[in-house]
Chains A and B, each alone.
Chain A
Amino acid sequence: MSTQRIDLCQTSDLPELFERFAEWYRFNPRMRERDYFDWQFKDAPTRLADGEFDFLVLRENDEIVGCLGFTGFEFRSDGAIHIGGWTHNWYAPDRRDGGLALMFRFMELVDNRFIFRFNENTARVLSLLRVPMIAAVQRWWAVTDADHAADLFQLEASDRAIVSRSAAGIKRIDGTARIRSVDRFDPDDEFTLTHLAERLNGARRTGKYLNWRYLEIPRHRYHAIRSERGMGVYRVETIMNHDVSVIRIVEWTFDDDECGAALAFILTEHNDAKPIMLDFHCASRLPARGLERVGFMPQGATAKPMPDLFRPMNYSGGHALALDFPPHRTTRAIDFERWYITAGDSDVDRVKL
């Protein structure tokens, strides 16, 4: 009879764990980089567990057969500050109920659970637990060169008209007044969202959090910009086998009337990278209002889905999101439109090799 147990990961586990990662995440060697692992599971500003890492390992007969990593964070909801936890790297291959045991162990550590980008099996589990979820967080995109984008993404005539409208909007933006780049945020600063809506919930965008998430992450190159009270974070991703790039916006809290200036700043700054597309994911439409006014289109605007993966180019189907708050296992509704959750949250946005 096999003996199954779940423990918090320790440094002594890492050699065996990284061997497993070589099988489980063979297309993501970053998982086996010690500094990245430390950054994600040890150095986060908010920790949930007492051990060395916020990372669970599942063993059967003393062999590591599964895992679940997680990241704690502070978030604002309805004016109050709470502690939440994102799940990452939830993996239990061929261990029929070990995956569930890992999830429940995580649930013991935090009452407010955030789960991003999960598969059908996980969706079924969450559904049985009555966790509110959406199939895909909203996405907006814009193109800078309609003809080139339409050829690259192989669009039909009706979709070409849509991208033309987008490009026309982008071409009209100008002026970069009040926008400046940021090398490091003041740790004590906080970018609140009240100028977008009186009550918009989400992880606290403190300087400390933003520095850890975007400026200290190994081997990722994020750029940060700000105005008096808004900020944006993005990275430039080249499209595999092409000499153009995509601007992946992962934070955007500018006032509606500052969006044009902020975009103009980005496009001027990275003109050499030949950005052909920009995109932004958010559970709430409120931060994207200003983007819509300058040419951003919702994901469903075209008949053929616009790609959201570029190394190689593909469409993922979108990122499912589930929010599990007390009282658990009760039928309840969550207004996802009131949540500022972006691709910068959890581990959704990672550089593809």
Chain B
Amino acid sequence: MSKQLNSTLVDVLSVTLRVPADRISDDFSPADCSNWDSVRHLMLMLAIEDKFEISFSEKEIAELRRFATIRDAVRTHVARK
């Protein structure tokens, strides 16, 4: 389940940010991706919400800027469902 969540999340980032999936490590962040600007960050958050049928708070949207922390947040929200 956890591997599947990770894999799905990697796919969402890869498609939204237009980066190869193998570049997405735990520390992957805007510093590693020139495409990852404000607009694309919002698109990423919305895409994740749609994919996992969860809803981030505005604070989370602002603070989730690293793959590992995004994954942890997604896990938490999915577990609550």
A interface residues, Cβ below 8 angstroms from B:
1-2, 92, 96-97, 99-101, 103-105, 107-108, 121, 124-125, 128-129, 328-329
Contacts and interface: CB of A to CB of B under 8 A. Distances in A.
The size class of the interface chain B forms with chain A is 10 to 19
Contacts of B1: none
> What 3 A-B pairs come out closest when comparing CB atoms?
A104-B62, A100-B38, A96-B37
A105 B62 contact: yes
Nearest to B43: A128
Nearest to A6: B62
Nearest to B33: A96
A94 to B, nearest CB: 10
Contact of A108 (B36, B38, B59): B59
Given A121-B38, A125-B38, A100 B43 contact: no
Contacts, number: 46
A288 B58 CA distance: 38
A99 B36 CA distance: 12
B-side binding surface: helix, strand, loop or mixed?
helix
B65 A97 contact: yes
B31 A121 contact: no
Nearest to B60: A104
Interface of B: 27, 30-31, 34, 36-39, 41-43, 46, 58-59, 61-63, 65
A105 B58 CA distance: 9
Nearest to B63: A101
A186 to B, nearest CB: 39
Nearest to A92: B38
Contacts of A125: 38-39, 42
A-side binding surface: helix, strand, loop or mixed?
helix
A96 B58 contact: no
B30 A97 contact: yes
B31 A2 contact: yes
B39 A108 contact: no
A302 B21 CA distance: 54
Contacts of A2: 31
Nearest to A105: B62
A241 B30 CA distance: 47
16 contacts: A2-B31, A96-B30, A97-B38, A97-B41, A97-B65, A100-B42, A104-B59, A105-B62, A108-B58, A108-B59, A121-B38, A121-B39, A125-B38, A125-B42, A128-B39, A129-B42
Given A97-B38, A105-B62, A125-B42, 20 more contacts: A1-B31, A2-B31, A96-B41, A97-B36, A97-B41, A99-B38, A100-B38, A100-B41, A100-B42, A100-B61, A101-B62, A103-B62, A104-B59, A108-B58, A121-B38, A124-B39, A128-B39, A128-B43, A128-B46, A329-B58
Contacts of A101: 62-63
A97 B59 CA distance: 14
